Amino acid sequence: MQLFDLTGKVALVTGANTGIGQGIALALAEAGADIAAAGRSPATETVDKVRALGRKAENFAADLSSVAAVQPLVDAVLGRFGRIDILVNNAGIIRRADAVDFTEEDWDAVIDTNLKTLFFLCQAVGRHMIERGSGKIINIASMLTFQGGIRVPSYTASKSGVGGLTKLLANEWAAKGVQVNAIAPGYIATNNTAALQADETRNRQIMERIPAGRWGDPADIGGAAVFLASQASDYVQGHILAVDGGWLAR
């Protein structure tokens, strides 16, 4: 459908080397977008698959644990593609420990990557989008944007912050032609959740809670990203779209 056509658009996707990031990059490419894949690890497989679809794709090395990487990344993408129409902030990390034992080092590492760098990447790309009068920003939130979780205090704080920032940026930039929204994935079958899937007890508990009766696939997140990146979502602002098989409805 024309509403979902991304032909001629350029999407910067962070953490695109595997899992959800790869699923989003491929879905955007299938809809017509060219892909700038950014992250610490080269997204070689993703880039090859995007090119096989007939789209342009390039790797951009960026250590997104530091804000220092933000402006050089944006400059490099603009230098290569000339524009950024879509930003997907997918890169993120997690640290696990009981709250009483959680270290400052683990707190800072997660907040820096998941929240601080995300904001300043939104800011840098947002300036470009505001100047052009259009753009789509998609932040990757979490079920823990809505729930507390356990043993992941910095992750919960970061993803709650992502939800708040998404709304704030939408408030400030909607009238400037920039849509800012977020996707909150549920339990998605990726290499990052392989241990949970292999744990018979935890896997059963998770499956019993999901009304859809299955783990999500990265392609499920990709479909939501295409919607939020396309003109079909032009009147959607500051929304956090749960793609969770009904997890939050339970």
pLDDT tens per residue, range 219-243: 999 999 999 999 999 999 999 999 9
What is the pLDDT averaged over residues 185-201? 90
What is the pLDDT averaged over residues 141-153? 96
Instruction: Name the β-bridge partners of 36.
Output: 12, 58
Question: What is the helix (H) or strand (E) element at residue 126, kind and residue range?
Answer: helix 117-132
Helix axes 153-173, 104-111, angle to 10 degrees: 30
Query: Which stretches does DSSP call E strand in the chain?
Result: 10-14, 34-39, 57-61, 86-89, 135-140, 178-185, 240-243
Name residue 135's amino acid: G
| Long-range CB contact pairs, 163-170, < 8 A, 24+ | 163/240, 165/115, 165/118, 165/119, 165/122, 165/139, 166/139, 166/141, 166/238, 166/240, 167/238, 169/122, 169/126, 169/137, 169/238, 170/237, 170/238
pLDDT band at 195 (very low <50, low <70, confident <90, very high): confident
- Answer whether residue 202 shows pLDDT above 80: yes
Which sequence spans correspond to the domains of the chain?
Answer: 2-242
Residue 112: DSSP 8-state: I
pLDDT band at 192 (very low <50, low <70, confident <90, very high): confident
Residues with a known catalytic role? 155
> Percent of the chain beyond pLDDT 70?
100
What is the pLDDT averaged over residues 179-204? 92
Per-residue pLDDT tens digits for 55-103: 999 999 999 999 999 999 999 999 999 999 999 999 999 999 999 999 9
Per-residue pLDDT tens digits for 99-140: 999 999 999 999 999 999 999 999 999 999 999 999 999 999
Question: Vertex 241, ends 237 and 244: CA angle to 5°?
Answer: 180
- 11-15, 87-91, 188-192, 246-250: range with lowest mean pLDDT: 188-192
Give the pLDDT confidence score for residue 59 in this predicted structure. 98
The DSSP string of 158-214 is: HHHHHHHHHHHHHHHHGGGTEEEEEEEE-SB-SGGGHHHHH-HHHHHHHHHH-TTSS
> Percent of the chain beyond pLDDT 90?
96
Give the pLDDT confidence score for residue 1 in this predicted structure. 64
The dotted CATH code for 2-242 is 3.40.50.720
Give the pLDDT confidence score for residue 194 in this predicted structure. 84
- Answer whether residue 211 shows pLDDT above 70: yes
Predicted structure pTM score:
0.97
pLDDT band at 191 (very low <50, low <70, confident <90, very high): confident
Cβ pair 22, 218 in contact under 8 A = yes
How much is the mean pLDDT over the chain? 97
What is the pLDDT averaged over residues 11-31? 98
